[in-house]
Structure 1
């Protein structure tokens, strides 16, 4: 009676293990073929945010077909902040001066966005303080440019009543400046904006320096000291005529803290390791830099991005969760077969097959202990030779059909374990390369 119960229990263990193996295999195949789509909030279609987002989407999909980034047009940083905090999008581009909730995490610093003070030559504006009494075109409320103008003007001792402001879109502002309807335009923009480049080709339009970056950082720590390089807008003339000191903020790519670790790690990896491809699509990518001191910048980074910046590979158990689960199930199968073997040996039902089974037990232990692919190949050949000899013994009645069955199961476990061990080692070496 006890033997019957033990046999039934062993059968249940085997069946349960097979079910687990099947479910894990299905899950692994499903996730391996699944394409994940992330929505990225950018900016206006004629702006740098939208153009960069489109380039990023293209390069990410090119380098990993299982990740698609859908770019949507928005009004800019303020709207993007709302969308990401409300989980209506999974990625967003913001200016680095934008305050965000703890649930929103940074993926990467992107390109710098320079403070551009564009004026007419006949306006007699040569520095920020000379905006007093002038007509200034600002970007619409809610834009990063609009929000940053006020602390800038305050730093230079200007009050709101000291000048007349007009809120216009970038195109409307450039047109108004060209026609003399305003004296100056203030806009925060990355280098390379085509409309701005075209405007600056006119001899009556010029850029004004915005210095005192260190002093401005006392009230706005996110500002960077920067320059608009000589010839940035025309190398022949050149425009500007010399390196022009300005201040800048940096565009940042953010996500929600609950977005999958592996997705964000992969996007960060592509962003930096496929930089040359990205630059061909959008020149602003050339100015992307890794955070120099993540802890001191006041930003909270997504764990997936941090893993890349720290040059750590994703946690082995996270990366190989499915294959490890499969290996665990195979181990259960192996244990159950060995348990059956132990019952066989304890009941003194020893025959020629026992020696083979004992040998298999030792081989399985060797498989788990080796990290050498050459040794695994030798073990694989050894298993094939053992199987060939057992078949010969079965044919010559040296072992019974029942004994052959007791051998076949652990032999299959040993062969499967060898193959899986080879896969784990190869994947580990690829991840570390």
Structure 2
């Protein structure tokens, strides 16, 4: 029983030591892969590639793996389902388990009418056709939200999805009365859009605002307002013609709540300190900003690790690694000391068993008096062989002196017993 207990203690110590060593090796030498769900669009691929390059340069053991999904809604679903620890999401379709690490950009929601004399306000869209840029399924839901606020039934506004290169033809044929575009204010998309409108003969496209944007944002906090100054949209003619205020949505790098605070804080730090590099790799990331941890009214939560980093309460990764190494060293030292103490205690309390050779010689000595005469030679030969083995082991220092004396004594007793059995007329 004692031997089993000692073996169990030893096994536990070995397992604990191995686990600690494996954890230490993982922390110091391991490769951490972070999967990020991104829309399978050119914008999504560029953003993911830029993030991967920055992390590869600064953290060689942190790998960003891109998981393409059909659209932004699917990215939020992948995050909610636990398929990926990170995702690029849009604020108006962020999902239930999306916690913000950084804001990647803000997009302005803008209506553009092809020319003068057409639609000038959101209310004027009733019974009209609105063009939506192809490949942006969330824009239609945002359009519906705006129409509902202005008491325009969404079903009374027709929709037509267009690729950007199809805009001139659609405008010439009067297939659309206005365009609804959601894009960063500094995006080159606006230059292409206004160029397409002028190509279609719309010399002075009219840009009109969502003038009740603040009220909509109060009703739906995942939306925000944004001011677009006159002439923000680059081109030969200033657009918009006046300062406008409209709705905006934000693109965010989000993580699941289960992500450790130290990891969320480190990802946040890496992105915020490399904004210029990321913008150079992907102009769509020129608007990276930190979320406001003091804004208690925001609808999208900030990850606790990000909040701790932004408030200066999160230790750096190097500090945490040093702490981990320190504590692992203490655990390993304690385990080694405990193992040594346990081994010493076991050696002290374990029962002392006679050596196997001594026990066998004792059995031979006791067996000689009753053995058949034909077996005496075999018993004596076995005793001699055991004596020879013991002497060879003793010559190499592998036999204690006590065992050597017992073997010598028992071999002499065996020989004496065999001699007496061979005396004529002696029966044992």
> Shorter-chain TM-score: what band?
0.5 to 0.7
Report the more deviating stretch, 174-183 or 190-199. Answer: 174-183
CA deviation map 1:100-122 (0-9, x unaligned): 22x44322233111102122015
Give the count of matched residue pairs: 331
Report SS of the residue matched to 1:97: helix
- TM alignment of 1:254-333, pairs within 5 A: 254-292=254-292, 293-314=294-315, 320-330=323-333
Among 18, 21, 24, the alignment partner of 2:20 is 24
Distance of 1:141 and 1:156 partners within structure 2: 26
Q: Unaligned stretches of 5+ in structure 1?
A: 341-433
Whether the aligned pair in 2 keeps the contact of 1:81 and 1:100 (CA below 8 Å) is yes
Give the Cα separation in 1 of the matches to 2:298 and 2:69: 27
Which residue does the alignment assign to 1:119? 113
Q: Which is higher, the Rg of structure 1 or of structure 2?
A: 2
- Partner of 1:150: helix, strand, or coil? helix
SS of corresponding position for 1:55: helix
* Partner residue, 1:65: 60
Q: Give the whole-Å Cα distance in 1 for the aligned partners of 2:249 and 2:76.
A: 16
**Cα pair 2:105 2:288 within 8 Å, conserved:** yes
Q: Supply the distance in 2 between the matched residues of 1:84 and 1:297 (Cα, whole angstroms).
A: 20
Residue equivalent to 1:227? 227
Does structure 1 residue 198 correspond to structure 2 residue 192?
yes
- Judge conservation of contact 1:21–1:330 (CA < 8 Å) in 2: no
What does the per-residue CA deviation read over 1:32-82, in whole Å, with 9 as the maximum and x for residues that have no partner? 2222222222224234x4433332222222221222222344332221122
Correspondences of 1:371-410 after superposition (within 5 Å): none
**C-alpha contact 1:114 1:189 (8 A) present in aligned 2:** yes
Corresponding residue number in structure 1 for 2:243: 243
How far apart, in 1, do the equivalents of 2:22 and 2:243 lie?
60
Query: Cα deviation per residue 1:246-270 (whole Å; 9 max; x = unaligned)?
Result: 2112112212223344332221111
Q: Secondary structure at the match of 2:159?
A: strand
Q: TM-score, normalised by structure 2?
A: 0.65
Partner of 2:88: 93
Mapping of residues 157-176 of structure 1, within 5 Å: 157-168=151-162, 172=166, 176=170
Give, in whole Å, the separation in 1 of the partners of 2:133 and 2:238. 27
- Structure 2 CA distance for aligned equivalents of residues 104 and 161 of structure 1: 31
Which residue of structure 1 aligns with residue 390 of structure 2?
Answer: none
Give the secondary-structure state (helix, strand or coil) at the position aligned to 1:121: coil
Correspondences of 1:409-428 after superposition (within 5 Å): none
Gaps of 5+ in 2: 344-428
Q: Secondary structure at the match of 1:217?
A: helix
Cα gap change, 1:27/1:244 in structure 2, threshold over 3 Å: closer, same or farther? same
Cα distance between partner residues in 2 of 1:169 and 1:34: 45
Q: Which residue of 2 aligns with 1:362?
A: none
